[in-house]
Amino acid sequence: MRITYRCHQCDATCVESNVTAQTRQLTCRSCGQTVRLPEGAWNEGRLQRCLVCPCRELFVRKDFNQRLGVGIIVLGFALSTVAWALRRPLWTYGILFATAAIDMVLYFLVGNLVQCYRCHAEYRDLDQLESYQPFDLETHERFRQEAARVAVARAAQASTASAAESGPGTAPQ
């Protein structure tokens, strides 16, 4: 299995190959930060939880750059709009059908990966991909809201700490 994740220390993208159930830790090549892999993360060869964070909720998705996919669709739409403005309906429909055909071919050619909702770690070359659930918007939104609340709490804590460091009696500028 291959895992791609963001280092909690330096925010670098880390890629580890040949990760197995016997692997005990992951090490960031940029800063040397290690992540100890949790016990019980594997059950009968199936990944039960994220190896980077404590999340147990994983989903399966296509292993394709989503921005590139949206870019292809937007380009097809823009080109078809130009063709329509030039009063070329056959070109317009041809461009739209070609864009749809490219999308369909990519759908069948590109493999799947498993991703963590919380830290977005990506797991490639896993067995039993069909046993993982597809993306769920409600679960994603729950984790997005949780991350937003944590960010607000950290910002409030940082402002409280900086106010305490400036000491009493100092006026804010």
The percentage of residues in the chain with a pLDDT greater than 90, rounded to a whole number, is 64
Tens digits of residue pLDDT in 136-153: 999 999 999 999 999 999
According to the model, what pLDDT value does residue 139 have?
A: 96
The span from the CA of 142 to the CA of 58, in Å, is 13
The enclosing H or E element of 70 equals helix 66-85
Which of helix, strand or coil describes residue 33? coil
Is pLDDT above 80 for 83? yes
Q: What mean pLDDT is reported for the chain?
A: 91
More confident residue, 165 or 57: 57
CA dist., res. 61 & res. 82, Å (int): 33
* In the predicted structure, residue 68 carries a pLDDT above the cut 90: yes
Query: pLDDT-based confidence at 71, cuts 50/70/90?
Result: very high
Q: What is the pLDDT of residue 160?
A: 87
Q: Helices (H), strands (E): how many in the chain?
A: 3, 9
